[in-house]
Amino acid sequence: MTLTGQHFIAGERSATGSSTFTGVDPSTGDDLPTSFHDATSAEVDAAVNSATEAFYELQKLSGEKLATFIELIATKIEEAGDTLLDRAHAETALPMGRLQGERGRTCNQTRIFASMARDGQWRQARIDVGDPGRTPPKPDVRTLLYGVGPVAVFGASNFPLAIGAVGTDTICAFAAGCPVVVKAHPAHPGTCEILGSIVTAAVKECGLPAGTFSLLQSNTNESSAEFVRHPGICAVAFTGSLKGGRALYDIACSRPNPIPLYAEMGSLNPVFLLPGALAERSDSIAEGYIQSVTMGVGQFCTNPSVVLGMEGDTLESFISKASDAASNYAPQTMLHPGIHKAYESGRQKLGETAGVTQVGISASAADENANEAACAIYSADFSVLDSTSDDLEEIFGPTSTVYKCQSLEQMVKFAKGLDGHLTATIHGTEQDLLDHAELVNILQHKVGRIVFNGFPTGIEVCNAMHHGGPYPAATHSFFTSIGHHSIYRFAKPVCFQGFPAAALPEPLRS
């Protein structure tokens, strides 16, 4: 398709603002063709107002109707073929193989939510039949989940398809019968426009209300704030940095009618190497560790940034093997120049920290003009971590630090001092787990997902998955942004008391 740089507002194109920006090829730093218009306040208002009008109609639709619509989106994504992938590659430098895999994940999760909309079990019908003969009489009480209202979605920079304009957030909101207004990510505006055209066409073909979907482009923080401030928005999904997520969360909470903002933000994803595992397989753990650190050029929210192990020969062997594996990593282009600049700045700050030593680096030099990142591994004694733990920050990119502990109590001390994180990983034997039950118990209260003898990168889209964690990893630790249960961010219960059967919603009839 030919890109226009215009927005999609309730099925119509719009571009009334004079301010524009372009996509950037991160491998060269050059602007890509097509200028995209920044959304005006009037355009944001029009999109949200249309979504508000559409909401009541969507809530009356059958699960079958919603499922058909959602399945059509998946089909159209596949039919877009290389047009979609070529633009995503140009704007993100993600390899075509990775984008093909992400497209498969996107379509798979889309069809999962279509099935959920069709069977309706997510609505969790609860029925307490009345008993007028009881003293006092027991009323008939029945509860069902409904969509919360129009949802604003801010997609991720690192997953332009699976967590982007038509990613999990948007699709599960549709499954709940909620209209969606997407704030397109400025790092891949062309990809967003192609996806926006797909959903807009599906809305029209299925005869849904035009306000079911809108997508607006913008490269300004003020426009993002307008989405969250608008009184018609009932919930917000955000994937990005702690700074950006917290700013929008504060706006959501300070509204006259506060709304939930489900933000998935930064995370250190610590790895704990227990003695039994290091003694058995330090080399294989090291290889898996570097693969996880460098996956996606280190641009996954679950990349392991911190490793703790007991000082000794087995840990030194692990560090040596990890350093060798890091040297074999060929530098690759990051998602956009801003992320590359932040990565290099973070690495410099870490390398200048007293007591921290660089022990591994890509043998090939990174090309700064191509925004490439080398893999860098550091090491330090626990005393350094103990004195700088309050200053620990995620470095978004292929780097990680191994800390040498003098006692297992130091691992526990570190775990107790953790803020909220998305994941923690434990490498050990079954006996290690029994011997360090206290560590496992502490981590249950510090992270959303604990991985045993694996690595946190690569998230299975399934019913049991939880991708979230205590603040600052996320703003609501009991909700997930990936997997089947992500739909519950956009649902609210409605209780019906004393209704005759004929007037009840179908799922609540006995």
Same domain, 136 and 62: yes
Q: What is the pLDDT of residues 426-439, one digit of tens each?
A: 999 999 999 999 99
Tell me, yes or no, whether 153 and 70 share the same domain: yes
Which range marks the domain in which residue 383 is found? 271-452
Q: What is the DSSP letter of 8?
A: E
Confidence band (pLDDT; 50, 70, 90) for 459?
very high
Predicted local confidence at residue 385, as pLDDT:
86
On whether residue 24 sits in a domain, the answer given is no
**Helix 81-92 vs helix 189-205: angle between axes, to the nearest 10 degrees?**
150
Examine residue 487 and state whether it is found in any structural domain, yes or no.
Answer: yes
Query: Are residues 210 and 225 both part of a single domain?
Result: yes
Together in a domain, 311 and 404: yes
pLDDT surpassing 80 at residue 150 = yes
Indicate the helix (H) or strand (E) that contains 30. strand 30-37
Provide the angle, in degrees to the nearest 10, between the axes of the packed helices 63-79 and 168-175.
150
Q: How confident is the model at residue 390 (pLDDT cuts 50, 70, 90)?
A: low
Strand ranges inside 453-503, DSSP E: 491-497
CA–CA distance, 55 with 431 (Å, rounded to integer): 54
Does residue 324 share a domain with residue 443?
Answer: yes
- pLDDT over 70 for what percent of the chain? 99
Q: Are 140 and 121 members of one domain?
A: yes
Average pLDDT score over the chain: 96
pTM of the full structure: 0.96
Are 256 and 395 members of one domain? no
Residue 462 lies in a domain: no
Question: Domain tally for the chain?
Answer: 2
Q: The CATH number of the domain where 54 resides is what? A: 3.40.605.10
Question: pLDDT by residue (tens digit) across 312-363?
Answer: 999 999 999 999 999 999 999 999 999 999 999 999 999 999 999 999 999 9
Q: Is residue 30 part of a domain?
A: no
The pLDDT assigned to 389 comes to: 65
Shared domain for 197 and 330, answered yes or no, is no
CA 171 from centre of chain = 14
Query: For the segment 224-272, what is each residue's pLDDT rounded down to a tens digit?
Result: 999 999 999 999 999 999 999 999 999 999 999 999 999 999 899 999 9
Backbone angles phi, psi at 301, to 5 degrees: -70, -10
| Alpha helices, H only, 25-149 | 41-58, 63-79, 81-92, 96-119
For the cut 80, the answer to whether the pLDDT of residue 190 exceeds it is yes
User: Of 445, 482, 435, nearest to 461 (Cα)?
Assistant: 482
Task: Classify residue 507 by burial, with Cβ atoms within 10 Å: 0-12, 13-18, 19+.
Answer: middle
Same domain for 188 and 297: no
Residue 3 belongs to some domain of the structure: no
* 26 domain residue, yes or no: no
Does the pLDDT at position 391 exceed 80?
A: no
CATH of the domain at 287: 3.40.309.10
Q: Is 215 part of any domain?
A: yes
Instruction: Indicate whether 487 and 426 sit together in one domain.
Output: no
List, by residue number, the catalytic residues: 264, 301
pLDDT value at residue 510: 77
Query: How large a percentage of the chain has pLDDT more than 90?
Result: 97
Please choose, from the candidates 273, 470, 456, 306, the residue with its C-alpha nearest in 3D space to the C-alpha of residue 393.
306
Q: Are 120 and 114 in contact (CB under 8 A)?
A: no
Same domain, 244 and 366: no
Instruction: Please write the tens of the pLDDT for every residue from 53-104.
Output: 999 999 999 999 999 999 999 999 999 999 999 999 999 999 999 999 999 9
Does residue 205 register a pLDDT over 80?
yes
Q: Is residue 1 part of a domain?
A: no
Residue 387, pLDDT above cutoff 80: no
Are residue 359 and residue 483 in the same domain, yes or no? no
CA angle 158, 164, 168 (to 5 degrees): 115
| pLDDT at residue 392 in the model | 85
pLDDT, tens digit (0-9, with 9 covering 90-100), for 282-315? 999 999 999 999 999 999 999 999 999 999 999 9
Give the length of the chain. Answer: 510
Of 400, 455, 401, nearest in space to 425 by CA: 455
